[in-house]
Amino acid sequence: MTAIFVTGTGTDVGKTFLSAALIRHWRMAGHAVAAFKPVASGFDPATAQASDPGVLLAALGRPISDIDAISPWRFAAPLSPDMAAAREGRAIGFDSVVEFSRRAAKSADHVLIEGVGGIMVPLDGRHTVLDWMSALRLPVLLVAGSYLGTISHTLTALRVLAQRNLEVVAVAVSESTVPGAPLDETVTTIARFADLIEVVGVRRLSREAHNHPANARIATLIDSSSAIHILRSFPRKREFCRLRWCIGANACFVGISCVS
């Protein structure tokens, strides 16, 4: 079973676009796929099909009437979830979100859980999306844009994820609609500081964006990460296993490799 948490360096960087592309890729390969957007703000019931949960449901081939099943915490205001919930006199129960996500992660052969906004977006008065990811301990797909400033945002996000010992399976640099550096140059620069983490450029503005080879490459990286997790559950006899991943020169975290 493969489960992945899709997060971003910020909002509107292409998380839902890439999530939908991965769903279609896995479905075409014959896999049973489930996807969830547990928390969503800026939701308008009148345009539900165009919302992030609506886009995921369309990729799954499910009706919009199933929206409660994949996105139970929806709010109208286009604000951080804690602010959007407060506008409606509501609050997000962090433990409930985590428990929902844990059940969701076991619901199909391939499961995708999409976060909300960027990794440090508050969910309530004490917890952020980073805390949500830390509680789940799922592999993370980090989505970034190609806008001016994205290099600093992306490398900062990688360092924060490394500090929490979260496994980043790939960085997807999704083409932005606003002007910035060329996509290929942005990918090359981020990759220079990401060490062992593969950085993939996603041409979101291309006519063939939904079937671009980058989507298949990211799907392969996610599936490979799942295989590593399976191996971790069967430690080799009389071996010590670890992997040191580094973001730049000063931030490292431990994963897996085996030495006798």
Q: Tell me the pLDDT tens digit for each residue of 191-224.
A: 999 988 999 999 887 766 677 788 999 999 999 8
1-22 burial, b for 16+ CB within 10 Å, e for fewer? ebbbbbbbbbebbbbbbbbbbb
Contact 169, 141 (CB under 8 A): yes
Contact 116, 54 (CB under 8 A): no
Residue among 172, 193, 210 at smallest CA distance from 245? 193
Contact 170, 218 (CB under 8 A): yes
Supply the residues annotated as catalytic: 37
Domain ranges in the chain are 2-235
Half-sphere exposure of 249 (CA within 13 A, CB side): 0
Superfamily of domain 2-235: P-loop containing nucleotide triphosphate hydrolases (3.40.50.300)
Percentage of the chain exceeding pLDDT 70:
85
Place of tokens 């992030």: 52
pLDDT digits (tens, 9 = 90+) for 84-128: 999 999 999 999 999 999 999 999 999 999 999 999 999 999 999
Higher pLDDT, 240 or 55: 55
Specify the pLDDT at position 140: 97
Specify the pLDDT at position 229: 52
Residue 235's pLDDT band, with cuts at 50, 70 and 90, is low
> What length does the chain have?
260
Residue 228's pLDDT band, with cuts at 50, 70 and 90, is low
